[in-house]
C-alpha cells in the first residue's frame, strides 16, 4: 500500500492542533537514540512531590487508540462498523507462532472484507495503489507492539507523544504514565526524582517482560539482565501415554510451561502438565456419553469429579489428593525433561546460528541481540534445570512418594494436603 508520512517537524504543530499539553518537557530527535522526551529546565528534588506541579504531559482521551475507542468508532461510522463486525476478534498467539499468526490474520481480514464495497475498491482492487499486502499488516502489527502501553481502566492503548518516550528498567525509570479524572493520558513524576535541563524523562515498558518479548516488540534487550525474567516452552503429553489423544481433546488450558525467575530461584508453572502426569490408575477416566439430541460427547473425570468443562479443576483435585507429592514428582520430571530438550536444541543450533548471523544484510546490533537472547535464555533454563532437580529430590523424599514406591515398611494414614496458593505452580 502507498503510504504518506509526515516529517518529524510536524509533531509540534500537530500536538498544538490536538490540544496535547507539554509542561516543561519537549520531544527531541538524535541519531543514536531516535526520539526521546527531555526536560527543558531543571527540576529540583523538593519540587517533584507527586502531583505538586502537575503532569509533564497530557494527551486528550480522544487521541488514545484502544479497543474501547475502536468499538466506539465502529458504532458511529457505518463503513467502519461493517469492517469491525466482519473482522471480529483476531485474538492473541505466542511469539513462536508470530508469522503464522500474522499470515492467518491477514487472510482472515481479506476473506472477511472482500464483500464490503469500499474495502474491495480500496484494499483488494489490483489496479489500486492502496491495495493491501501482507507486509502492510506486519507493519501495523509492529507499530502496535512497539507503541502500545497498558493503561489503568483502558487496557492496551497507543498514545501519541507518550509513545516517543524511551524505556529504562527498575529504579532508573523516572516517570510513569497514568490516567487523570477526565480519562486523559498523563505523564507524572514520582517522589524523589530531580532533573537537570536536558535530562531524559523515561518510563517502563514492563520489567517483567521476557527478553524475547522486548526484542520482538521494541528492538532491544536490557543489557543489565543476567536472566530473562521469564520464558514459555510448549509441552506435549508423552507419546506412550494411552490417554494422550483423549487428554488433548478435553484440555481447556494451553500446552505450555512458563518458567520465571524472581532474582533467587526459578518457578516452573503449568496447568497442562498436571493433565499430562495423571494416569488411569490414579483415577483419571474418560467416558463417551450420548447427549439428549443424540450426539456423542467425550467426558473427563478424576476420581468421579467431572472436569470436562474446565480442566483447571484438576489442579485443585490433585493437590488435595493423598498422592499429591507423587504428582509433583512426575510434573517436575516432565518439566525438567522439556527444559533439557530446549537446552540441547540451543546447544546443537549454535553453529548454524553463528553461520546465519554472518549473512548479508544482518547488522551488528541484530547479530549481538540474537546471541544475547540465546545467552539469557540458556542461563534461565540452566537455573530451571537445577531448581527442578531440587524439587524432584524433595518430592522423592516425601513420605507419600516413599509409600507409593513401597520403600516404607509401615503405611500410616495419609493427611490431605491443603491447596497451594499458586494454582499453576507445581514447585
- DSSP E strands in 212-343: the ranges are 230-234, 256-261, 266-269, 284-290, 296-302, 305-306
More confident position, 244 or 416: 244
Q: Cβ neighbours of residue 361 under 8 Å, at least 6 residues apart?
A: none
Which ranges constitute the DSSP H helices of 360-398? 364-396
Indicate whether 338 pLDDT > 50. Answer: yes
The total number of residues shown for the chain amounts to 427
Summarize the chain as % helix, strand, coil (round to 5): 45, 15, 40
- Residue 81 pLDDT: 86
Q: Cβ neighbours of residue 212 under 8 Å, at least 6 residues apart?
A: 95, 228, 231, 373, 377
- Residue 169 pLDDT: 87
Separation of alpha carbons 170 and 168, rounded Å: 7
* pLDDT tens-digit readout, 243-261: 999 999 999 998 999 999 9
Separation of alpha carbons 121 and 128, rounded Å: 8
- Computed from CA positions of residues 298, 299, 303, 309, in that sequence, does the dihedral angle turn out positive or negative? positive
Over residues 55-78, the mean pLDDT reads 89
Over residues 391-410, the mean pLDDT reads 88
28 by DSSP, 3-state: which?
strand
Indicate whether 376 pLDDT > 70. Answer: yes
- Residue 423 pLDDT: 47
- Residue 52 pLDDT: 47
- Residue 307 pLDDT: 94
Over residues 60-71, the mean pLDDT reads 89
* pLDDT tens-digit readout, 169-203: 888 899 999 999 999 999 998 877 888 999 999 99
- Residue 93 pLDDT: 44
Over residues 384-389, the mean pLDDT reads 97
- Nearest in space to 270 (alpha carbons), one of 232, 238, 302, 303: 232
* pLDDT tens-digit readout, 262-307: 888 999 999 999 999 999 999 999 999 888 887 889 999 999 999 9
Average pLDDT, the chain: 87
Over residues 208-232, the mean pLDDT reads 87
- In angstroms and rounded to an integer, the radius of gyration of the C-alpha atoms of the chain is 27
Q: What is the DSSP letter of 126?
A: T
Separation of alpha carbons 150 and 4, rounded Å: 28
- Residue 415 pLDDT: 54
- Residue 223 pLDDT: 82
Separation of alpha carbons 217 and 156, rounded Å: 14
* pLDDT tens-digit readout, 2-60: 677 888 889 889 999 999 999 999 999 888 778 999 999 888 766 554 444 579 999 99
179 by DSSP, 3-state: which?
strand
Distances (CA, A) of 152 to 173, 208, 214, 340, 376: 18, 17, 21, 39, 31
pTM of the model: 0.76
- Nearest in space to 188 (alpha carbons), one of 179, 197, 200: 179
Separation of alpha carbons 61 and 241, rounded Å: 54
More confident position, 160 or 90: 160
- Residue 122 pLDDT: 87
Q: What percent of the chain has pLDDT over 90?
A: 52
- Residue 22 pLDDT: 93
Q: What percent of the chain has pLDDT over 70?
A: 90
* Strand partners for 342: none
Of the listed ranges 83-97, 114-128, 333-347, 366-380, the least confidently predicted one is 83-97
Indicate whether 417 pLDDT > 60. Answer: no
Separation of alpha carbons 159 and 62, rounded Å: 10
58 by DSSP, 3-state: which?
strand
- Residue 386 pLDDT: 97
- Computed from CA positions of residues 343, 346, 349, 351, in that sequence, does the dihedral angle turn out positive or negative? negative
More confident position, 30 or 92: 30
Strands 65-66 and 200-201: unpaired
- DSSP-derived secondary structure for 59-86: E-GGG-EEHHHHHHHHHH-HHHHHHHHH
* Strand partners for 34: 30
Over residues 320-349, the mean pLDDT reads 95
Strands 65-66 and 155-158: antiparallel
Residue 410: pLDDT band by 50, 70, 90 thresholds?
low
| Number of Cβ within a 10 Å radius of residue 292 | 5
Q: What is the DSSP letter of 318?
A: H
* pLDDT tens-digit readout, 130-143: 789 999 998 998 88
| Number of Cβ within a 10 Å radius of residue 187 | 23
- Residue 393 pLDDT: 96
Q: Cβ neighbours of residue 14 under 8 Å, at least 6 residues apart?
A: 6
Over residues 199-215, the mean pLDDT reads 90
Residue 424's φ and ψ, nearest 5 degrees, are -115, 20
- Nearest in space to 330 (alpha carbons), one of 266, 264, 383, 398: 398
Indicate whether 92 pLDDT > 60. Answer: no
* Strand partners for 185: 59, 179
Amino acid at each position: 500500500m502507498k503510504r504518506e508520512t509526515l516529517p518529524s517537524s510536524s509533531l509540534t504543530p500537530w500536538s498544538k492542533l490536538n490540544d496535547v499539553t507539554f509542561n516543561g518537557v519537549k520531544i527531541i530527535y538524535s541519531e543514536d537514540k531516535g526520539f526521546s522526551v527531555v526536560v527543558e529546565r531543571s527540576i529540583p528534588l523538593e519540587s517533584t512531590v507527586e502531583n505538586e506541579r502537575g503532569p509533564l504531559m497530557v494527551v486528550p482521551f480522544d487521541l488514545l487508540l484502544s479497543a474501547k475507542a475502536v468499538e466506539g468508532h465502529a458504532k458511529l461510522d457505518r463503513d467502519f462498523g461493517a469492517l469491525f463486525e466482519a473482522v471480529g476478534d483476531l485474538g492473541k498467539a505466542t511469539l513462536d507462532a508470530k508469522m503464522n499468526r500474522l499470515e492467518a490474520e491477514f487472510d482472515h481480514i481479506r476473506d472477511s472484507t472482500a464483500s464490503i464495497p469500499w474495502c474491495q475498491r480500496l484494499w483488494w482492487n489490483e489496479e489500486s495503489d492502496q491495495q493491501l499486502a501482507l507486509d502492510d499488516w506486519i507493519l501495523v502489527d509492529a507499530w502496535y507492539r512497539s507503541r502500545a502501553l497498558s493503561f489503568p481502566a483502558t487496557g492496551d492503548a497507543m498514545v501519541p507523544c507518550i509513545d516517543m518516550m524511551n524505556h529504562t528498567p527498575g529504579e532508573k525509570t523516572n516517570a510513569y504514565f497514568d490516567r487523570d479524572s477526565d480519562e486523559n493520558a498523563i505523564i507524572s513524576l514520582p517522589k524523589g526524582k530531580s532533573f537537570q535541563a536536558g535530562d531524559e524523562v523515561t518510563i517502563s515498558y514492563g520489567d517483567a517482560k521476557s527478553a524475547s518479548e522486548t526484542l520482538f516488540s521494541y528492538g532491544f534487550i536490557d543489557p543489565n539482565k543476567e536472566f530473562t525474567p521469564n520464558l514459555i516452552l510448549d509441552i506435549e503429553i508423552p507419546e506412550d501415554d494411552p490417554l494422550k489423544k483423549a487428554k488433548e481433546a478435553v484440555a481447556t488450558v494451553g500446552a505450555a510451561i512458563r518458567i520465571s525467575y524472581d532474582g533467587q530461584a526459578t518457578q516452573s508453572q503449568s496447568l497442562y502438565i498436571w493433565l499430562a502426569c495423571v494416569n488411569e490408575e490414579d483415577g483419571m477416566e474418560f467416558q463417551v456419553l450420548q447427549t439428549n439430541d443424540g450426539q456423542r460427547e467425550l467426558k473427563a473425570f478424576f476420581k468421579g469429579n467431572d472436569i470436562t468443562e474446565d480442566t483447571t479443576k484438576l489442579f485443585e483435585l490433585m493437590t488435595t489428593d493423598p498422592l499429591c507429592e507423587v504428582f509433583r514428582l512426575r510434573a517436575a520430571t516432565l518439566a525438567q525433561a522439556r527444559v533439557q530438550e530446549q537446552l540441547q536444541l540451543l546447544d546443537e543450533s549454535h553453529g548454524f546460528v553463528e553461520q546465519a548471523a554472518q549473512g548479508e544484510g544482518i547488522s551488528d546490533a541484530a547479530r549481538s541481540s540474537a546471541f544475547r537472547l540465546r545467552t539469557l535464555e540458556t542461563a534461565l533454563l540452566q537455573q530451571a534445570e537445577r531448581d527442578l532437580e531440587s524439587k524432584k529430590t524433595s518430592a522423592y523424599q516425601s513420605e507419600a512418594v516413599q509409600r507409593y514406591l513401597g520403600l516404607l515398611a509401615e503405611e500410616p494414614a495419609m493427611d490431605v494436603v491443603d491447596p497451594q496458593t499458586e494454582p499453576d505452580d507445581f514447585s
